[in-house]
């Protein structure tokens, strides 16, 4: 960003010292006419000046209905425009946004609303096979009995008000669209006093982890955490105010809210939202129509886009960069994205929600080999190293261990879970990622697996990622997940769940023959299962633990499972 001021700390790291609301106001001042938020399918387009003014009006509306500083305001919605508006509006008055997975159901919703002490919930009618309104009212039927703002629920004692996004407002709720009008009753002086009272180190969001390995925990992140992480992520892609980022990843996940929204906003770039949820063809349409220069996604999204039957009809030549992340990126998929989607400067980011989320990233100046085979170097202002899993000793380059990180981006902790926080954050600030990796002599990190996903077969450590990368070279395989299942003799055996390319046929024997003689015998999958799709989180992460659970049930291995609780 070209302009320096008191909110831009000098030096190599050049941190941004804004609150979220202050950031949006500053970008609106500097790039007022730039597209900020674009929904091609809705013919909706806000400039930065328009978006900032709208967020100010909605922020005052939130004050008018009683939202206080440090209140928890939850949102349960797909990528609708109101998500971005509420993100900035709530931050302008110091309320912390609680993000809820779009695929959660009643037990998960109840758990998060309770654990987060949410006082205000904003939701859409529903998504997929989930009716959000009915789900909420089954948990708290009192919502329909009380006027808006007077909700009293025995199950959700903190919940006081529910805002509805969409046409027709359910009983006991207020339509989101009414906030602007209600905000007119709040004096400007009162609003300015609220915004002036905020600090960049206040907790501004509770990002609930996706739950791929256990119950979700509320990760407390500050303005400073997420703004600077988004800023440095954008810097590594050489973002400027001329870039246009296509965002098919969900906002509720850090990939959407930080690596997309804040990477763009910190640079005055445009956010182009192809659809309220991921569909491959609208992504291609939006890239062509809006001349997007960047696109984000998890590997499964890029696979779906490139394998779409009408892929070749769309002009994606405007693209240059973006992020493939959210899970470890298969080398073959990254290469195909570079060649087929013109993503010659695509980057990969490694991190986790507890780190805001980025820890390392490749740079656009890195060679293609580095960009497809590593997750890059540590982001500015951060530290990372590889330690021995057993002793905690720092390991030299080339040795595998657990990756730990430290710096401005590390969370303040898990909300109301100090013991859980202490398990992952050391007193000196080092965050345990739970990921296995190694770093080379030039500081480039490679992820080799999860500490908990490592397969131990007869005393041999087997890292699923190594086998997955090899199997991706098979011409018939579109996607593959490798994991361990119980075995009486060896403790665990290697299993591969494989999704074939459209129209392809393959056998278990063919897969094993492809491996034999090319990878060590103990790494050759003992079991091969062909699947149509994988169980996923709403953010596109494949849930290996569910694949493992299904395999154990199907093969009646429950009685020999060494990991069952």
pLDDT tier at 216 (50, 70, 90 boundaries)?
confident
- Size of the chain in residues: 565
Instruction: Give the residue from 464, 483, 474, 535 showing the smallest Cα distance to 506.
Output: 474
Q: Collapse the DSSP code of 85 into the 3-class scheme (helix H, G, I; strand E, B; otherwise coil) and give the result.
A: helix
Most confident of 8-17, 211-220, 336-345: 336-345
Kindly report, residue by residue over 81-121, the tens digit of the pLDDT.
999 999 999 999 999 999 998 888 888 899 899 999 999 99
Q: In angstroms, rounded to a whole number, what is the distance separating the alpha carbons of residues 297 and 324?
A: 5
The lowest-confidence range among 20-34, 70-84, 104-118, 455-469 is 455-469
Cβ-count burial 137-155 (b if 16+ within 10 Å, e if not): bebbebbeeeebeebebee
CA-to-CA separations, 58 to 111, 149, 186, 519, in angstroms, rounded: 28, 17, 11, 58
Q: Where are the domains of the chain?
A: 45-198, 218-450, 455-560
Confidence of residue 186 (pLDDT cuts 50, 70, 90): very high
User: Distance between CA atoms of 263 and 134, rounded to whole angstroms?
Assistant: 35
Is pLDDT above 80 for 330?
no
| pLDDT computed for residue 520 by the predictor | 80
Could you tell me which residue, 558 or 9, shows the higher pLDDT? 558
Fold: same for 45-198 and 218-450: yes
- Residue 150 gets the label, from left (phi > 0), alpha (psi -120 to 50) or beta, of alpha
Structural fold of domain 45-198: Rossmann fold (3.40.50)
pLDDT at residue number 449: 74
| C-beta separation of 335 from 372 below 8 A | yes
Would you state the pLDDT for residue 565? Answer: 32
Mean pLDDT for the stretch of residues 539-543: 80
- Segment 194-216 shows an average pLDDT of 83
| Mean per-residue pLDDT, 314-337 | 89
- Tens of pLDDT, residue by residue over 352-411, are 999 999 999 999 999 988 988 899 999 999 999 999 988 999 999 999 999 999 999 999
Please state the φ and ψ torsions of residue 435, each to the nearest 5 degrees: -105, 140
Burial class for 284, CB neighbours closer than 10 Å (0-12, 13-18, 19+): buried
In this structure, whether the domain defined by 455-560 belongs to CATH 3.30.300.30 is answered with yes
When mean pLDDT is compared across 161-175, 272-286, 518-532, the lowest value belongs to 518-532
**Residue 564 — pLDDT band, cuts 50, 70, 90?**
low
181: which residues sit within 8 A by CB, 6+ positions away? 61
Q: Tell whether the model's pLDDT for residue 461 goes beyond 80.
A: no
Q: Which fold has domain 218-450?
A: Rossmann fold (3.40.50)
Q: To the nearest 5 percent, what fractions of the chain are helix, strand and coil?
A: 35, 25, 40
163 within 8 A of 75, measured Cβ to Cβ: no
Average pLDDT on 296-309 reads: 93
Q: Within 10 Å of residue 176's Cβ, how many Cβ atoms?
A: 22
Helix axes 48-64, 188-196, angle to 10 degrees: 100
Residue reference for tokens 């699923």 = 464
pLDDT of residue 304: 93
State how far the Cα of 19 lies from the Cα of 93, in Å rounded to an integer.
10
Q: Is the peptide bond before 497 cis (omega within 30 degrees of 0)?
A: no
Q: What's the confidence (pLDDT) of residue 42?
A: 97
Contact 38, 44 (CB under 8 A): yes
**Looking at residue 4, what is its pLDDT?**
36
The whole-chain average pLDDT of the chain stands at: 92
């Amino acid at each position: 960003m070209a302009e320096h001021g008191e909110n831009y700390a000098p030096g190599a790291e050049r941190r941004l010292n804004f609150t979220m609301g202050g950031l949006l106001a500053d970008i609106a001042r500097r790039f007022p006419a730039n597209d900020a938020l674009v929904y091609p399918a809705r013919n909706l387009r806000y400039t930065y000046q328009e978006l900032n003014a709208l967020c100010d009006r909605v922020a005052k509306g939130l004050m008018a209905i009683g939202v206080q500083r440090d209140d928890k305001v939850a949102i349960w919605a797909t990528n609708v425009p109101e998500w971005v508006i509420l993100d900035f509006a709530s931050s302008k008055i110091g309320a912390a946004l609680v993000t809820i997975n779009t695929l959660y159901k009643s037990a998960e919703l109840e758990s998060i609303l309770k654990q987060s002490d949410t006082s205000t919930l904003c939701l859409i009618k529903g998504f997929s096979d989930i009716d959000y309104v009915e789900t909420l009212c089954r948990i708290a039927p009192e919502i329909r009995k009380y006027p808006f703002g007077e909700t009293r629920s025995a199950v959700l004692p903190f919940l006081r008000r529910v805002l509805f996004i969409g046409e027709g407002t359910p009983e006991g709720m207020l339509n989101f669209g009414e906030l602007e009008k209600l905000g007119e009753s709040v004096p400007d002086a009162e609003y300015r006093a609220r915004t002036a009272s905020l600090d960049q180190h206040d907790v501004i969001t509770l990002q609930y982890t996706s739950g791929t390995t256990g119950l979700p925990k509320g990760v407390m992140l500050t303005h400073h955490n997420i703004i600077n992480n988004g800023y440095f992520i954008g810097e590594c892609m050489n973002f400027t105010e001329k870039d246009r980022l296509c965002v098919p990843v969900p906002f509720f996940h850090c990939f959407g809210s930080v690596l997309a929204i804040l990477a763009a906003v910190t640079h005055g770039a445009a956010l182009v939202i192809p659809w309220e949820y991921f569909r491959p063809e609208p992504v291609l349409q939006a890239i062509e129509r809006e001349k997007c220069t960047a696109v984000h996604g998890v590997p499964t999204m890029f696979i779906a886009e490139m394998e779409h039957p009408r892929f070749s009809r769309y002009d994606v030549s405007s693209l240059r960069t973006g992020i493939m992340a959210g899970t470890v990126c298969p080398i073959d998929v990254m290469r195909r994205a570079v060649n087929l989607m013109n993503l010659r400067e695509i980057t990969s980011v490694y991190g986790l929600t507890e780190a805001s989320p980025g820890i390392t990233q490749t740079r656009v100046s890195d060679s293609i080999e580095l960009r497809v085979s590593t997750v890059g170097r540590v982001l500015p202002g951060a530290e990372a190293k590889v330690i021995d899993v057993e002793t905690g000793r720092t390991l030299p380059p080339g040795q595998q261990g657990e990756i730990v990180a430290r710096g401005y981006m590390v969370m303040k902790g898990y909300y109301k879970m100090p013991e859980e926080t202490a398990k992952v954050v050391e007193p000196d600030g080092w965050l345990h990622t739970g990921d296995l990796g190694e770093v080379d002599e030039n500081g480039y990190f490679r992820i080799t697996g999860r500490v908990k996903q490592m397969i131990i077969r007869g005393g041999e450590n087997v890292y699923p990622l190594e086998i997955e990368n090899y199997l991706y070279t098979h011409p018939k395989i579109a996607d593959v997940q490798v994991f361990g299942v119980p075995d009486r003799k060896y403790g665990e055996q290697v299993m591969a769940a494989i999704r074939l390319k459209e129209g392809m046929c393959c056998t278990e024997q063919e897969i094993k023959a492809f491996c034999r003689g090319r990878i060590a015998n103990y790494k050759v999958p003992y079991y091969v299962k062909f699947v149509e799709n994988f169980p996923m989180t709403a953010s596109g992460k494949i849930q290996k633990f569910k694949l493992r659970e299904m395999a154990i049930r199907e093969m009646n291995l429950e009685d020999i499972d060494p990991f069952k609780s």
